[in-house]
Structure 1
Amino acid sequence: MDALPVRQLDVNAGSGLHWSGDSKKLHFTLGDELFTANAEGKDKATSQKIGFEQASDKPAGKIALTGARIVTMKGDEVIEGGTVVVDGNRIVAVGQDIAIPLDAKRIDASGKTIVPGFIDAHWHGAMNDGGLIPQQSWINLASLAFGVTTLHDPSNHSASIFTQSEMQRAGLVLGPRIYSTGTILYGAKTPYTSNVNSLDDALTHLNRQKAEGAISVKSYQQPRRDQRQQILEAARRTGMMVVPEGGSLFQMNMGMVVDGHTTVEHALPLAEVWDDVKQLWSQTAVGYTPTLNVGYGGLDGEHYWYARTEVWKHPLLSRYVPRSVLEPRAVRRETAPEEDFNVLRVARTATALSRAGVNTSIGAHGQREGLGAHWEMWMFVLGGMTPMEALRTASINPARNFGFDKDLGSIEPGKLADLVVIDGNPLTDIRQSDRIVQVMQNGRLFDAMTMNQIAPVAKVRKPLFFEGADGQTMPIDGEALESGHLGD
């Protein structure tokens, strides 16, 4: 290497490497810092902060949703004929016969059910196109229209997803709250390989991801247990979470449980487990996100719902997903007998683990923009959960997994105002969960069928590229789409 001298510029890596105009200095960035190194190599690289502060979006005004059945997720509490009062972006009162401020905008929710905003614990999706962040994303609109007010993405392009996350938080784009690992820590030989052979290596990777905006990292296919443990120790030192995937290897999954990861992502590769697994796992704080839509071991959840329902006709989904995207995937459907869908066995096992004390969450994996979150709940019920248990997997459970439960996951005074208004009762029929009429995210109330803002002030969104000038999608087979829930 004497003929090609190499010098390390920074222990935590960087991006945007470029020379100064006179070629005497090298510049690169990491997070909100600009680093500069002299070409002669005499001095250590220096840095300066180049970031800025932006106020988080927070609406002004009061809203009162009245007369609803409120499933608070505070234990098994259900308030009939209740009211939720919101001031700004926080819930200030919940209950029956509560005082409603005179200056609050009243929204009659009689006959409807209000549940906490859904939290998708394992979501992947496009955040940019060719490096460009869209001003309005139909994927975000669809997700939000289906009540997904918060998502956690355990693998995405760091620059794209953290840019989108900050823009959403600032109110510049409309969509769910966005949290992510950013780029995964891949142990296999890929363009994203992250070599971990010491604690210092692990700290380098986690410091880099944290600087970019990550709250967690995905430890993915790190082959040795000591490598995974080094990532865990680095996470403890940096205050981050670790959400690994076991690659359909049962022994690796159990090692992840014993070592104390934040969650185990994706389904166990065994359709059924015995008491030893239940007893072991329930003694830890490790959560479980089985991602039933892509469940391992056989036919999966996404294809179950293609086979059993006319997905392309869903009145809400077809409002936001272009026909050219939705119909090729959903119209020509393969089917199989019920017993061939292994995902139902996976759901039964997840139910058993949940009842043993394992904190279990939905994770739609980005399948079918928003509707996939409901499929997850429906499959949990097919696996034996009660509708209340299934609704927990989409609200308070993921909030607890990620430490969001001080602000999210239930309808209680002091928490952020993320709510879903359902025209039906999912407690008696979980398949009514997708009859969404309104969604509140961060104190702003939207009409689900249009994603126009209703309150605290009315605001019409701009049309999507495939909508007409009036904001309406082209009808299927020349017939107007009717509102309602997706039938069998």
Structure 2
Amino acid sequence: MRRILLALAASVSLMAQDHAIILKAARLFDAKTGRVISPGQVWVKDGRIQSGVAPAGAEIIELGDRTLLPGLIDCHVHLTMKAGLDELAQMKESKADAVLDGVVNARKVLEAGFTTVRDCGSGTNFGDVALRDAIARGDLEGPRMLVSGAPFSITGGHGDTNGFPNDIQFDESNIVSSPEEAVAKVREWRKRGVDQIKIMATGGVLSNNDDPGAPSFSPAEFRAFVEEAARRGTYVCAHAHGDAGIREAVEAGVRSIEHGSLMSPETARLMKQKGCFEVPTLYALESILEPGNPLHIPEGSLAKAKAILPLRRAAFKAAVDAGVTIAYGTDIGVFDHAKAAWDFPLLVDYGMTPVQALQSATVNAARLLRLDKEIGALEPGMAADIVAVDGDPTKDIRTLLEMPFVMKGGTVWKRPKDGMASRTP
């Protein structure tokens, strides 16, 4: 039955891409200028946004009092992570289980309006590569993916298996202890199909016996990762909470800082100078501290989160004030993937305007991923990744928490529950 459904989905997808579709709504968000255009209209064919006049006989989809937006982009996801597992349940999850979780989570993220994601770490022996490729072939439903494989860590750092008995053996192929090892690992990960390199530049919150504020790799190791990634046609994104680790990673030339929780104004200015992006993942930290601990977070991690949260707002404000380019990212996998849009209200609450928040998940994110000629704006020639929300999100960012319409690559994946007029003139 599953194969039959996939075959039907594939045939519907092909039909949707082959014929012309006109989308009409009350408004359209121009992500590059930040302007809202009324009324909004886009026509697509062959999976692309088209220019000029649509042909006679094109299907017209009337979306009413909604706003058309580019398909959203999340630059920090973990599709193969399952939120809410306690430590024992995590130990019992096999790599195969995690990849199957990814199949379910990919659909959740697409339905939330995210048509492209960057996966920032999967301990599945490159199961994220297989998931990406299956979605790209049309075998599975989900967003366009860029993947990292397992993130690189120092011995005892965030990304290592700390706090377990010594006689329990884990896969430690992601542990790096010298510049030479960094070079070799970048080459191997690229050979295995990853799109970018993820490193752990400081300790973390959801790890045992390490300090989120402490830097991890040496300056020489940071440089080795960055330089070899560039030679292999890609870049490095760096998990970093503490200011010293952020600064060392930025000085080495990483393309993005993930989290940036304890960043100083001086380091924020350095990021601006170097053209380094920040991917803030604000809701993840708050979700860890939800009353009743529904995510089953260990006490040690709760203590870390409680220490960091009061400082988080000032660090984010420092980045915004310095003019650092913010790219949207959530860390979903820490919390449920259906909540992929929940960072938007926090971005505004922490100091961005609604327009800036929208741009973080469209044009800014596309630039970070080096896909700004393909996605992130509603312009002729771009991929027909288009979503629609009720009302005007530049006035109420919370409209993004409900996503009634999703098109990816010219195929409609989600339609409004209240019905949607569709006709052929």
Which residue pairs with 2:25 in the alignment?
67
**Among candidates 193, 197, 214, match of residue 178 of structure 2:** 197
Provide Cα deviations, 1:239-272, integer angstroms capped at 9, x if missing partner: 11101123x32111111112210111123325xx
Return closer, same or farther for 1:256/1:197 CA change in 2, 3 Å cut-off.
same
1:77 pairs with 2:35:
yes
Q: Tell me by how many angstroms 1:196 deviates.
A: 4.4
Unaligned runs of 5+ in 2: 1-12, 82-92, 161-170, 202-215, 297-305
Which residue pairs with 1:187 in the alignment?
154
Q: The residue matched to 1:264 in structure 2 has which SS?
A: strand
Instruction: Show the 5 A alignment for 1:46-445.
Output: 59-93=17-51, 99-126=53-80, 130-131=95-96, 134=100, 137-156=103-122, 157-189=124-156, 190=160, 191-192=171-172, 193-199=174-180, 201-221=181-201, 222-246=216-240, 248-269=241-262, 273-274=264-265, 276-295=266-285, 300-301=286-287, 303=289, 343=309, 346-347=312-313, 349-366=315-332, 367-445=334-412
Paired with 2:61 and 2:120, the residues of 1 have a C-alpha distance of 36
Paired with 2:71 and 2:326, the residues of 1 have a C-alpha distance of 17
Paired with 1:381 and 1:83, the residues of 2 have a C-alpha distance of 27
Return closer, same or farther for 1:453/1:165 CA change in 2, 3 Å cut-off.
farther
Q: Aligned letter for 2:27?
A: R
Paired with 1:289 and 1:389, the residues of 2 have a C-alpha distance of 13
Q: Tell me by how many angstroms 1:237 deviates.
A: 1.0
Aligned identity (percent) is: 24
Paired with 2:245 and 2:323, the residues of 1 have a C-alpha distance of 21
The answer on whether the counterparts of 2:26 and 2:66 sit within 8 Å (CA) in structure 1 is yes
Paired with 1:135 and 1:442, the residues of 2 have a C-alpha distance of 24
Q: The residue matched to 2:343 in structure 1 has which SS?
A: helix
Provide Cα deviations, 1:260-286, integer angstroms capped at 9, x if missing partner: 10111123325xx33x33432211111
Return closer, same or farther for 1:406/1:187 CA change in 2, 3 Å cut-off.
same
Paired with 1:142 and 1:251, the residues of 2 have a C-alpha distance of 36
Return closer, same or farther for 1:182/1:140 CA change in 2, 3 Å cut-off.
same
Paired with 2:324 and 2:50, the residues of 1 have a C-alpha distance of 31
Return closer, same or farther for 1:346/1:328 CA change in 2, 3 Å cut-off.
closer
Q: Aligned letter for 1:142?
A: K
Unaligned runs of 5+ in 1: 1-56, 308-326, 331-339, 457-488
User: TM-score normalised to the size of structure 2?
Assistant: 0.76
Q: Which is greater in Rg?
A: 1
Q: The residue matched to 1:268 in structure 2 has which SS?
A: coil
Q: Which has the higher contact order (CA 8 A, sep 6+)?
A: 2
Q: Tell me by how many angstroms 1:342 deviates.
A: 6.4
Q: Tell me by how many angstroms 1:429 deviates.
A: 0.8
Q: Tell me by how many angstroms 1:60 deviates.
A: 1.6
Q: Tell me by how many angstroms 1:169 deviates.
A: 0.4
Provide Cα deviations, 1:352-399, integer angstroms capped at 9, x if missing partner: 423432111222111444443322111010012111111111111111
Paired with 1:107 and 1:402, the residues of 2 have a C-alpha distance of 30
The answer on whether the counterparts of 1:345 and 1:383 sit within 8 Å (CA) in structure 2 is no
Paired with 2:59 and 2:109, the residues of 1 have a C-alpha distance of 26
Q: Tell me by how many angstroms 1:294 deviates.
A: 2.8
Which residue pairs with 2:206 in the alignment?
none
Paired with 1:75 and 1:355, the residues of 2 have a C-alpha distance of 20
Q: Tell me by how many angstroms 1:301 deviates.
A: 4.6
Return closer, same or farther for 1:225/1:238 CA change in 2, 3 Å cut-off.
same
User: TM-score normalised to the size of structure 1?
Assistant: 0.67
Q: Aligned letter for 2:149?
A: G
Paired with 2:220 and 2:102, the residues of 1 have a C-alpha distance of 43
Return closer, same or farther for 1:343/1:209 CA change in 2, 3 Å cut-off.
same
Return closer, same or farther for 1:397/1:455 CA change in 2, 3 Å cut-off.
farther
Q: The residue matched to 1:120 in structure 2 has which SS?
A: strand
Provide Cα deviations, 1:90-116, integer angstroms capped at 9, x if missing partner: 1113xxxx6332232110022101111
Q: Aligned letter for 1:79?
A: I
Paired with 2:416 and 2:61, the residues of 1 have a C-alpha distance of 17
Paired with 1:153 and 1:418, the residues of 2 have a C-alpha distance of 19
Paired with 2:268 and 2:229, the residues of 1 have a C-alpha distance of 26
Which residue pairs with 1:482 in the alignment?
none
Q: Tell me by how many angstroms 1:138 deviates.
A: 3.0
Q: The residue matched to 2:274 in structure 1 has which SS?
A: coil
Provide Cα deviations, 1:5-62, integer angstroms capped at 9, x if missing partner: xxxxxxxxxxxxxxxxxxxxxxxxxxxxxxxxxxxxxxxxxxxxxxxxxxxx863221
Q: Of Structure 1 and Structure 2, which has the larger fraction of its residues in helix?
A: 2
Paired with 2:146 and 2:219, the residues of 1 have a C-alpha distance of 27
Paired with 1:251 and 1:134, the residues of 2 have a C-alpha distance of 38
Q: Aligned letter for 1:100?
A: A
Q: Tell me by how many angstroms 1:423 deviates.
A: 1.5
Return closer, same or farther for 1:111/1:342 CA change in 2, 3 Å cut-off.
farther
Return closer, same or farther for 1:99/1:302 CA change in 2, 3 Å cut-off.
farther
The answer on whether the counterparts of 2:73 and 2:116 sit within 8 Å (CA) in structure 1 is yes
